[in-house]
Amino acid sequence: MNAQTLRPLAAEFIGVALFVFLGAGSVVANGITTGALGSVGVALAHGLAMGLIVSATLSISGGHMNPAVTFGLWVGRKIEGRLALGYVVAQLLGGIVGAALLPTVFPTPSVRAMSYGTPLLSATTTFGHGVMLEAIMTFFLVSAVFGTIVSRSAPKIAGWGVGVAILVDALMGGAATGAAMNPARAFGPAIVSWTLGGQGVYWIGPLLGALVAALVWTRLLLPKEG
């Protein structure tokens, strides 16, 4: 593997590890402080962290930081298949490492009690409703990627459009599904805490939303190339 290939994979791995550490860490911190951060604080932590991480890695890897985003860009023919697979592997490993680092800064019993910040369905959210909500939220997120990063006429706002999309989605859907919109964000903490219930929601929903967003943007909304 040459440096040209290694750099973007390393960026995706490090970026997702940081995002999961900060995002899941905000969930743990909210639990430890009996809700001092609140849903708004947790949403802000996720949105601001991702906005900064995408901005920092945009010139290295494109700032995907999400298997659903990579899948959507692959569907839209913005990334080659083998590289996309490497991105997804790096992202999932980053998610595991980010979650595994949480006991280094929080008491281990508290981290375990919060299932390492694993997104979970609420008691009133069914599997089907969870899939639909994650799909809609991911459609919005991947639309932000295509509209603010991929488009040739995109505004020069780096990754902050993506961060704002995550913030808005988290405020709307966080109470129902945890608003993952990102298989790596759900997978890493779930593996470390071995909290695997409902994980299908965080794969099926985001991949479905990313698929629809990619088709809408590449076939209808983006200017034709060439």
User: Does residue 148 belong to any structural domain of this protein?
Assistant: yes
Domain span at residue 180 reads 3-221
User: Does residue 135 belong to any structural domain of this protein?
Assistant: yes
Q: From 100, 98, 111, 109, select the one nearest 30 (Cα to Cα).
A: 111
Model confidence at 5, pLDDT cuts 50, 70, 90, reads confident
User: Does residue 205 belong to any structural domain of this protein?
Assistant: yes
DSSP letter string, 118-158: -----TT--HHHHHHHHHHHHHHHHHHHIIIIISTT--S-T
User: Does residue 124 belong to any structural domain of this protein?
Assistant: yes
Beta strands in the chain (DSSP E): none
| DSSP 8-state code for residue 103 | G
- The HSE-up count of residue 117 (CA atoms within 13 Å, CB side) is 33
Question: What pLDDT digit, counting tens, does each position of 110-148 carry?
Answer: 999 999 999 999 999 999 999 999 999 999 999 999 999
The pLDDT assigned to 1 comes to: 64
The domain that holds 78 is classified in CATH as 1.20.1080.10
Domain count, the chain: 1
- Altogether, the residues listed in the chain come to a count of 226
Question: What pLDDT digit, counting tens, does each position of 7-64 carry?
Answer: 999 999 999 999 999 999 999 999 999 999 999 999 999 999 999 999 999 999 999 9
User: Does residue 39 belong to any structural domain of this protein?
Assistant: yes
User: Does residue 67 belong to any structural domain of this protein?
Assistant: yes
User: Does residue 226 belong to any structural domain of this protein?
Assistant: no
User: Does residue 213 belong to any structural domain of this protein?
Assistant: yes
